[in-house]
Chains A and B, each alone.
Chain A
Amino acid sequence: MEKTEYVKLIDTTKCTACRGCQVACKQWNEMPALRTRNLGSYQNPPDLQWNTWTLIRFQEYANKNGDFKWLFRKDGCMHCTEAACIKVCPSGALYHTEFGTVGINQKLCIGCKACVSACPFDVPRFNQETEKVYKCDLCYDRLKDGQQPACVLSCPTGALTIGTKEAMIETAYQRLDQLDGKGVVYGDKFVGGTHVMYILSEDPAVYDKLPVKPRVPASVILWKNLFKPFTLIGMGAVAGMAALHYLIKGPHEVHENKQGGE
């Protein structure tokens, strides 16, 4: 299959937090809304949920000079190239699509929840009732049909755009020039590059729940790159040594010649 990597660019400097993307996502993916509570913020629901794959995070922020800013960040799956979730998924439910995005096939998901803790962005969500994990698949069905993801289509300000990886990285840095460098491009420098990128108006460390240096957790690398292969290597090596011992030294026979060995 021909592989064209796509990147969705989220320009937070253009986002007005209308939450059209949140609604469009639910509508296209037929995800129900659950009853929620006003917790004193427009951020609603308070966090990503199995039925909420994208969420505008509202954050009140004052910098060192006391300048106040209301920061909006559209949260959701970053579609990593080095995807920890795919690395730990035992069933193949999580996989890389031909667009470089991370697809999810709930039919294969066994609800082990390994991806939930492995994800450096804390994105996958588990549904207790269906015993399956859910997350954004960047509208894989729409991409396959040559359509934009529902969130991108719904965005009225142009904060959300999608295109080929090379084109979007170029667009991102052009936009940074327009902003006189008062911004940060986030997403091209870690986990092999994500297929969702941000233009942030502030330093990444300022944002709630946004890792500054996301990476595949060390525990996942130890588990999958070392312990996993060594399970078979270790057992095989020991079996080989036992076989060699049997052939060279032979079995450990009892001392039949001793008294009492009648």
Chain B
Amino acid sequence: MSDTLQNTVRVTDPIERIAHWLLAGSCLFCLFTGLGLMFRTWGFIPALLGGLYAAKWMHIFSGVVFAFALAYAFVMWKKDCAFETDDAKWIAQGGGYLWKTDNLPPVYKYNAGQKLFFWFVVVFGVLIVLSGLVMWNPLAFPVAVARWSYAIHALSALVIGSFFVVHLYLGTIGNPGTFQAMTTGRCSRAWCETHCPRWLADRDKGSPTT
């Protein structure tokens, strides 16, 4: 093994990274085509895609991809993202992001903030998929269901869109060394000691390839 490999730890497997980018890609595509469908000022996006009618169908198909990616991500990460008692403490201390704190509980694989993000995406992802299915053919549903689906779809987009910005910041410049988790899948040993010390300790006891 080279020096680099010895000093890095594989934190995600290829399946996780593919699922992540499928979810992220379809989500972002939906977000931007959705903004194009909702705001006249974002009309350049549908214009680039061949008009609003084309953008509508691309939005729907991307939504279908999102639905499957979400279902897979849910099954894959639900155990890693199950809450534990220490998570409340982590949240109460702002995860060490907002003020200086010395007794942040050591994190296992994902911290409470990451877990919260996961569950927000799951809950509002399910809502946006279900309401989107109604909006695909609103005439097949009672008018009250159809009407509220539009509102729920827009609310879910607001929540997912805002959390996406937080996720983007914390996954890139907000936490240097993190982005590789979703590219090569390998982060530095020091990064692991900072962000997932208990998981690293478990991993060191077991097989070095996991």
In whole angstroms, how far apart are the Cα atoms of A262 and B39 in the complex?
Answer: 51
Q: Is the CB of B158 within 8 A of A231?
A: yes
Chain B residues lying within 8 Å of A49, measured Cβ to Cβ, are none
B51 to chain A, nearest CB (A): 8
Chain B residues lying within 8 Å of A237, measured Cβ to Cβ, are 162
A114 to chain B, nearest CB (A): 6
In whole angstroms, how far apart are the Cα atoms of A260 and B188 in the complex?
Answer: 10
Chain A residues lying within 8 Å of B38, measured Cβ to Cβ, are 90, 228, 231
Q: Is the CB of A231 within 8 A of B190?
A: no
In whole angstroms, how far apart are the Cα atoms of A222 and B162 in the complex?
Answer: 18
Q: Is the CB of A254 within 8 A of B150?
A: no
Q: Is the CB of B143 within 8 A of A117?
A: yes
Asked if B98 is at the interface (CB within 8 A of a chain A CB), the reply is: yes
Asked if B177 is at the interface (CB within 8 A of a chain A CB), the reply is: yes
Q: Tell me which of A3-11, A40-48, A63-71, A243-251 binds B.
A: A243-251
B15 to chain A, nearest CB (A): 26
Q: Is the CB of B98 within 8 A of A254?
A: no
In whole angstroms, how far apart are the Cα atoms of A111 and B51 in the complex?
Answer: 13
Q: Is the CB of B165 within 8 A of A235?
A: yes
Asked if A189 is at the interface (CB within 8 A of a chain B CB), the reply is: no
With A110-B52, A262-B189 as known contacts, state yes or no: A249 contacts B97, CB within 8 Å: yes
In whole angstroms, how far apart are the Cα atoms of A183 and B194 in the complex?
Answer: 78
Asked if B155 is at the interface (CB within 8 A of a chain A CB), the reply is: yes
Asked if A157 is at the interface (CB within 8 A of a chain B CB), the reply is: no
Chain B residues lying within 8 Å of A256, measured Cβ to Cβ, are 190
B152 to chain A, nearest CB (A): 9
Q: Tell me which of B75-83, B116-124, B168-176 binds A.
A: B168-176
Asked if B68 is at the interface (CB within 8 A of a chain A CB), the reply is: no
Chain B residues lying within 8 Å of A260, measured Cβ to Cβ, are 189-190, 193
Q: Is the CB of B193 within 8 A of A116?
A: no
With A252-B96, A252-B175 as known contacts, state yes or no: A114 contacts B165, CB within 8 Å: no
Q: Is the CB of A245 within 8 A of B52?
A: no
Residue of B nearest to A131 (CB): B53
Q: Is the CB of B195 within 8 A of A254?
A: yes
Interface members, chain A 1-36 (any B CB < 8 Å)? none
Which listed residue, B135, B151, B194, touches A219 by the CB 8 Å rule? B151
In whole angstroms, how far apart are the Cα atoms of A251 and B56 in the complex?
Answer: 39
Chain A residues lying within 8 Å of B52, measured Cβ to Cβ, are 90-91, 108, 110
Chain A residues lying within 8 Å of B138, measured Cβ to Cβ, are 113-114, 116-117
Asked if B129 is at the interface (CB within 8 A of a chain A CB), the reply is: no
Asked if A118 is at the interface (CB within 8 A of a chain B CB), the reply is: yes
Interface centre among B137, B154, B195 (most CB of A within 10 A): B154
A258 to chain B, nearest CB (A): 5
Chain B residues lying within 8 Å of A212, measured Cβ to Cβ, are none
A235 to chain B, nearest CB (A): 5
Q: Is the CB of B35 within 8 A of A246?
A: no
Which listed residue, A110, A223, A252, touches B53 by the CB 8 Å rule? A110
B114 to chain A, nearest CB (A): 13
Residue of A nearest to B34 (CB): A231
Asked if A227 is at the interface (CB within 8 A of a chain B CB), the reply is: yes
With A90-B37, A231-B154, A262-B7 as known contacts, state yes or no: A251 contacts B161, CB within 8 Å: no
Q: Is the CB of A258 within 8 A of B190?
A: yes
Q: Is the CB of A227 within 8 A of B154?
A: yes
In whole angstroms, how far apart are the Cα atoms of A118 and B150 in the complex?
Answer: 10
* Pairs of residues from A and B, 3 with the lowest C-beta to C-beta distance, nearest first: A261-B190, A227-B154, A242-B169
Can you show 17 pairs from A to B with CB atoms below 8 A apart? A91-B52, A110-B56, A112-B37, A114-B138, A122-B143, A126-B139, A219-B151, A223-B150, A227-B151, A231-B38, A231-B158, A232-B35, A252-B96, A252-B97, A254-B190, A255-B190, A256-B190
Using a CB–CB cutoff of 8 Å, the interface residues on chain B facing chain A are 7, 35, 37-40, 52-53, 56, 96-98, 135, 137-139, 143, 146-148, 150-151, 154-155, 157-159, 161-166, 169, 173-177, 188-191, 193-195
